[in-house]
Amino acid sequence: MDNGESSYRRFLDGDNNAFGEVVDIYKDSLIFFINRYVHNFAVAEELAQDVFVELLLHKRRYNFKTSLKTYIFTIGRNLAVSYIRKCARRPECAYEYIENEQDVAMLEDEFIKKEQARELHEALGSIAEDYSTALHLIYFEGMSYEQVGKVMKKNKKQVENIVYRAKKALRKELEKEVSLYENK
C-alpha cells in the first residue's frame, strides 16, 4: 500500500486528485490520534481537517526528509496541544462542540475489534500522556523510535526510555484490571 508520499509528490506536480488519496490514507488514524489529546471526537475531526488545510496551504514545507506520516502527525500533535492551551485560557471553549458518543464508538470499533484491545486502550488512557502517546505511535501507527521522537520532540534515547517506562506502567495498569475482574 502507498505510504502517501508518492501521492503527495503527484499532488505537488499538479494532480489535485492525489491529495484526496493522502487524506484517505491518514484521516482516520489522525483523528484517532488527536482524539487521545482532546478527548472530543468532533474537535479531533476539525483539528484533523486543519492539518490537511495546513498541508494544502504550505505545500513546500514538507521536504521528504522524514515520512509524510511523521510530518502529518507532528502537525496534528501541535494543533491538539495549541487547542488544549487555548481551552485552558478559555474554559468555555470546551463546550463549543457537542461530542457524539456514537461517532466515538464507531471510530473505536473500527480500530479496536476485540475486548482485549479495548482493555488495552483504556489502560493506555490511564497512564501518563507521554507514555500513551509513545505507545500509540509505535504500536498503532507503526512509527519508528526516530519518527516518534520527531513527533514528541524527543531524541531516540528519550523515546526508548519513555517506551520502557510506558510498558512497565501499562503492565501494572492491566494487572489492576485483571485483579478487579477476579475480585468481582
| Whole-Å CA distances, 115 to 44, 153, 160 | 24, 33, 28
Q: Give the number of other Cβ atoms within 10 Å of residue 59's Cβ.
A: 11
Where does the pLDDT of residue 1 fall: very low under 50, low under 70, confident under 90, or very high at 90 and above? very low
Contact 44, 35 (CB under 8 A): yes
pLDDT above 90 covers a percentage of the chain that reads 29
pTM higher than 0.85, yes or no? Answer: no
Q: Give the number of other Cβ atoms within 10 Å of residue 4's Cβ.
A: 21
Residues of the chain with CATH 1.10.1740.10: 1-111
Residues of the chain with CATH 1.10.10.10: 113-184
Q: What is the pLDDT of residues 20-73, one digit of tens each?
A: 899 999 999 999 999 988 888 889 999 999 999 999 888 888 888 888 999 999
Q: Where does residue 71 fall: left (phi above 0), alpha (psi -120 to 50 degrees), or beta otherwise? A: alpha
For the domain bounded by 113-184, which CATH number is listed? Answer: 1.10.10.10
Residue 106 reports pLDDT greater than 60: no
Class of domain 1-111: mainly alpha
pLDDT above 70 covers a percentage of the chain that reads 79
